[in-house]
Amino acid sequence: MSTARVRRTPHGQDSLLEIAVGEFITRGYDATSMEDLSRAAGINLTKSLANEYASDHILVNTVCLGLVKSAQWERRAKGDLEGYYREVAKRVPVGRVGEAEEFADLVAFLCSARAAYITGTAINFDGGMSAAF
């Protein structure tokens, strides 16, 4: 799990954003219990921290990241990158792989003043994969 802390303006609030990454996208239903446990623990930590830091005007949220186009996947593709993405996308309910810009837009929103009332939540950025389980 990665953590980013961003100073928000103009309200002067901070955002603490957890990024939970799992392997279930590439391995399908073979996700290990340790990965499941780790993700659940991170989400519960987010809820606890959100309650603990709310009075200090610090918002805490988690983004559960699915498959997003990146250099990591380019290395795994071993040649035919678009073919690799097409094959993996067959397991994603929306039928495609996420774009890095879409992920960046979500993070930017969560760190913006427009998300000033969102705290203690986990957002699945996975094209519906988590709903399919």
All structural domains of the chain with their residue ranges: 2-127
* Helix (H/G/I), strand (E/B), else coil: 61: strand
Residue 1: pLDDT band with limits 50, 70, 90:
low
pLDDT of residue 51: 94
| 35, 60, 103 from 109: Cα distances, Å | 27, 13, 10
Q: Which two tokens stand for residue 79?
A: 């040649």
Task: Give the DSSP letter string of 72-126.
Answer: HHHHHH-S-HHHHHHHHHTTSTTSSPBPHHHHHHHHHHHTSGGGTT--SEEEEES
Residues 57, 120: Cα–Cα separation, whole Å:
13
How large a percentage of the chain has pLDDT more than 70? 78
- The rounded mean pLDDT for the chain is 81
User: Which of 21, 14, 92, 24 is CA-nearest to residue 49?
Assistant: 14
Q: Give the pLDDT confidence of 20-56 residue by residue, as tens digits.
A: 665 444 444 455 677 777 888 889 999 999 999 898 8
Mean pLDDT of 116-131: 91
Q: Is 16 helix (H, G, I), strand (E, B) or coil?
A: strand
Residues in the chain: 133
**pTM attached to this predicted model:** 0.79
Q: Which residue has the higher pLDDT, 118 or 5?
A: 118
- Encode pLDDT of 76-94 as tens digits: 878 888 999 999 899 899 9
Partners of residue 61 on adjacent β-strands: 17, 121
CATH, range 2-127:
3.40.50.720
